[in-house]
Amino acid sequence: MVVQKDLTDDEIDRVFHALAAATRRDILRRTIESEHSVSALAQDYDMSFAAVQKHVAVLEEAGLIIKRAEGRERLVRADPIMIARAKALLARYEDLWRARIDRLDDLLAEPSDPSASITTKGN
């Protein structure tokens, strides 16, 4: 099986949008731990079942969770492949910023040239 490593711009937008809401982050956390029915997920939130369904739909559209039917229930679990792709993206951002900070640290550690700040006045 070939797994696409880099996320497209649209995928990145959907992932960050999905993770922008605390409820969706909690649903994702819970579905990483184990598979849940949408009904079971909805019981733990102070919102309507329909609102939880919408949160699940946003996560599903982002590819962060997979929903499957089992009888009359809809079971939800996290998609480890998409989570790994999102994690790789964040790791690249972290590497980029760490490299920038390291360069800034190097610049700040360089001794300044005192002669560069001396100006001569014309006679």
C-alpha 20/C-alpha 107 separation (Å) is 35
C-alpha distances (whole Å) from 123 to each of 29, 33, 64, 83 are 74, 79, 73, 70
Q: What is the share, in percent, of the chain residues with pLDDT greater than 70? A: 88
Q: In which residue are the tokens 């800034």 written?
A: 104
CB contact at 8 A, 85 and 93: no
Give per-residue pLDDT as tens, 11-28. Answer: 999 999 999 999 999 999
Q: What structural domains and CATH numbers belong to the chain?
A: 9-100 (1.10.10.10)
- Give me the sign of the Cα torsion angle 37, 40, 43, 44: negative
Give per-residue pLDDT as tens, 69-112. Answer: 999 999 999 999 999 999 998 999 899 999 999 899 888 888 87
CB contact at 8 A, 48 and 85: no
pTM: 0.76
Give per-residue pLDDT as tens, 36-75. Answer: 999 999 999 999 999 999 999 999 999 999 999 999 999 9
